[in-house]
Structure 1
Amino acid sequence: MRAVIGIGNPGRNYIGTRHNVGFYILDSFAHKNKLDFLPTKSDFWKAESVIDTFRFLLIKPTTYVNNSGLVINELIDNFNLTMNDLLVIYDDVNLDIGNIRIRKNGSDGGHNGIKSIIYHLQSDSFPRIRVGVGKQKDDESLANYVLSKFNKDEINLIDQKIPLLEQLMIEFIANGYEKMLDYFSKESNTNSSNLS
């Protein structure tokens, strides 16, 4: 089993915000595959299904972004997962809107949700997909920017990458990180848009 974790804040007020791009991507995948997120006794919403013969979880923590790591060890223990079985999808203000980066380890890059996950795992070695949400203006605070909503043109840029992101999720679920990375590299080499 593998788990894909989207980072975001719970509640209607946060729908469509930059910080919730991880939730947005998981919601799109769930909708396409006719999956429903259900509440659990823990601090996350869960959708569960199978691709081919591979069982997987989609996880949306309800702890708010800054405490995203609180659910990680519980996930690992309850579902007998390793860190390599986790894929975290989250927003990155250092990337242009819709640009994608993949990595298996590294620092939090200033993202408090990733900082929380690293703290609770006591490791920075877990697969992740960073999705660009653009950089704030010089006179705008980062906190206000990540809680601001995408405009129509910006969300269109995100939507253009949804098919690729969904396929990356499928590759990870069925084949693991390295195969997902191979797929991404091939797409990057054949697509003129800035994917990698």
Structure 2
Amino acid sequence: MMKCIVGLGNPGRKYQKTRHNVGFMVIDELLNRHGWSLDKKKFNGHYCLESLHGEKVVLLQPQTYMNLSGDSVKPLLDFYQIEPSQLLVIYDDLDLPIGKVRLRQTGGHGGHNGMRSIIQTVGTKQFNRIRIGIDRPQTGITVTDYVLGKFSKAENGLVSDSISIAADACEAWMDKPFLDVMNAYN
């Protein structure tokens, strides 16, 4: 059975390395580790089909902008007949401290518009997720400006570590049940 790993973010140079794009950063880390590239452009996204630990996997970066992420995820899942239980979505979380990584098997959108879009279009909350902490903005900074801003130099080390941990968890999921991966990485 094929698996799908989706990293959420916004397309374009303007949004590279912003807090909202940590999902893209994890996909980039996996691509770098294995010498892969997002060589396919379809389903409103950039993706690749690969094999890891004997398991087939699709890695996807939606190109729809965050609020419409489901418009990329749903058609890809349908085309490759991937069940939601074989979906793993990686995204930023304001409610976790910077550098913290949390895995879950289900849940709501928690106010995250990309997750809201995926839950609505896929029609279920029953899919795996990796949340990467980006913390909340300081007083006087809007949430929008904060998530579309870049990490400070002081934060870069923690972010880099969390991206590496999330990529490790993605790789572990290729040959272990997600519950086992959760227990190892939470």
Question: TM-score surpassing 0.5?
Answer: yes
The reply on whether 1:164 has 2:165 as its aligned counterpart is: yes
Counterpart for residue 118 of structure 1: 119
1:180 to partner: Cα distance: 1.5
**SS in structure 2 of the partner of residue 160 of structure 1:** helix
Counterpart for residue 26 of structure 1: 27
Aligned-pair Cα RMSD in Å: 1.2
Counterpart for residue 99 of structure 2: 98
Any residues of structure 2 matched to 1:16-165 within 5 Å, and which? 16-165=17-166
1:99 to partner: Cα distance: 0.4
**What are structure 2's unaligned runs of at least 5 residues?**
none
- Give the TM-score normalised by structure 2: 0.94
1:163 to partner: Cα distance: 3.2
Counterpart for residue 193 of structure 1: none
Counterpart for residue 181 of structure 1: 182
Would you identify which runs of 4 or more consecutive aligned residues in structure 1 move more than 4 Å? none
Comparing 162-171 with 12-21, which one deviates more in the overlay?
162-171
Asked if the contact 2:74–2:118 (Cα under 8 Å) also holds between the matched residues in 1, the reply is no
What are the Cα deviations for residues 80-105 of structure 1, in whole angstroms up to 9, with x where unaligned? 11001100000001111010111111
Distance 1:88 1:162 in 2: 13
1:151 to partner: Cα distance: 1.5
Comparing 4-13 with 49-58, which one deviates more in the overlay?
49-58
Distance 2:58 2:170 in 1: 11
**SS in structure 1 of the partner of residue 175 of structure 2:** helix
Aligned length: 185
Distance 2:7 2:183 in 1: 22
Residue 169 to residue 61, structure 1, CA distance change in 2 (3 Å): same
**SS in structure 2 of the partner of residue 174 of structure 1:** coil
1:47 to partner: Cα distance: 2.2
**SS in structure 2 of the partner of residue 40 of structure 1:** strand
